[in-house]
Structure 1
Amino acid sequence: MLEVKSLYVSYGGVQALTNVSVHVKEGEFVSLIGSNGAGKTTLLNSIMNIVGRQKGSALFQGKEVSKVSTADMVTRGVALVPEGRRVFSNMSVRENLEMGGFKRPVSEVKAKLAEVTEMFPVLGDRASQMAGMLSGGEQQMLAIGRALMSAPKILLMDEPSMGLAPLVIKEVYEKLKVLAESGLTILLVEQNASIALKYAQRGYVLENGRIIMQGKASELLGDNEVKRAYLGKEYKEKWER
C-alpha cells in the first residue's frame, strides 16, 4: 500500500535521513522504532510532504505521491496523528473531530462522528468541552479520532505514548489493535520500542537516519541488540554482563 524508496532528507547541512526504504502492505501494522533524533518524525512528515526531500520517492497504492500536496494526501487516504497530539485547544472536542472530516461530505462526517465516539466514548461524553481541558490520554484519543474522521486507508502515528502514563499507553495501543483488526493499515513510529513491537506485525529500527534492522516484530523484540539499545537499562546491564 505504501512504499518509500531510497529517501534522503536534510535540514541545512544536517542529513536527517539517508537512503531510507520502508514498505507497508495493506492491512499491516508496522512499527518503526528509534531513539530521539533518529529521524522518525522526519520520515512521516516527508511521506505527508510536509517537508521536502533531496532524493527518493513515495508510492501510495502504486501511484507516485512525492509531489502531491499534504491536503491531497489526506484526500487520497493518508492520515497523520502528529507527535504531541496538537489538538485545537480552544475548540471543542466535537469541533476538533469535525475538522478532521473537513474534506468529506456532510452526511459522511455525521456517520463517521458516530463511529469515532463509539470507539472512544469519552469523546462523546466530552463533546462540548474545550480540547485543551482534556487529559493527555484523552487528547491522544482525540487526535486519533480526528485522523479517523478523514476515513483513512492508512494511519500514520507519531510517538503515541509520549508523555502518557503506562496504563494510558496500554489503553491507546489496545484501541490501535482494534483498528488494525478492523482492517486499517497502520505505520507507527515510536521511541517506546517494547510497546510498539508488542502490537505490531513487522518492524524497522532507525538509527541516525538509517534503517539498520528490519523483520518480524516478535523477532526484533527478542533481538539482544534491540533489547540493549532500546528496551531499557535492565536489558543493557544484562547484555553487558
Structure 2
Amino acid sequence: MRGHWWSCLLGLLCMPAGALLDPWTVSQNPPAISLMRVNSSAEILCSTSLSNPMGLYLLGYFQGDRSVVYVSLAEGRVTKRTVHSGFTGRVDVVPDPGTGPGCGFTLRLSLLGLEDTDVYYCKWSYFNTHTLTPESLESNGTVVIVRERDPQEQCDGHAMDLIFIVLSVTAFIVMLFLFTGAVILRCTRFKKHYRPARAIARSRPCRHQHVFPQHRGQQLPYSSRSADSLDFRGIL
C-alpha cells in the first residue's frame, strides 16, 4: 500500500508540464486516483478546445512513456490504432457527445492487470498555423492503480477480521466472568451450609481389673473333716 501511495505522489509531481502552461486547451478526467480491481475497466476522458487536432495519444508515464493507443483524426476521419502490443484488443475509443467532432474521446481500458498500474495522460497533436510546424499538448495525468482485490472488499475483510477478534475477546471475557461467578456462588453456598465437626473425645482404654483368684483354704490332712471320718476323741 505504501508503494502505491509513493507512485501516486510521484505521478502527481511528474505530470506533464503542458497542462500547467495551457490548462484551458486540453483536459483529462478523472484527475483523481482510480483504484481498480484486476480484470476491471478504467475510463479516461480526453478533450481539447483545439479546432484542428490531428491525433490523440494515450501514454503511460512510468512505463517509459509507452504509447497505449493512438487515434488518428487526419482529414476529419477518426481511426484507431493500438500502439502497445500489451493492450491489443483491450482499448475502446468512443467519441464524447459533449464536445465537438474530433475534440473529445473516452478511452476505455479493459481487463486491467497488476502490470497496468501507471499514470496515463493524453497527448494531442495539431498543426500550428503560426509556426507551420506540428506540435503537441499534453494534459494532466490519471493515476490508475490495479490491485488484486477491490479496496472495499479489503476493507470489509479487515472489518470482518476485527469483528471476529472483538467477538472472540468478548466471548472469552463473558466465559471468564461466568466461571468466576459460579466459583464464588459455590463457595458462598458451601460456607453458608458448612458446619464444623465437633471434636470426638477419645475413650480411655479400659484397664483390666486384676481379679485375684480366691484362695481356697488349704486342706490340711489333719484338719479336714469328713462325714465318714472316725472320731478318735471318744476313744482317747
TM-score (norm. length: structure 1): 0.23
Q: Which of structures 1 and 2 has the bigger CA Rg?
A: 2
Higher relative contact order (CA 8 A, sep 6+): 1
Higher strand share: 2
TM-score (norm. length: structure 2): 0.24
Higher helix share: 1
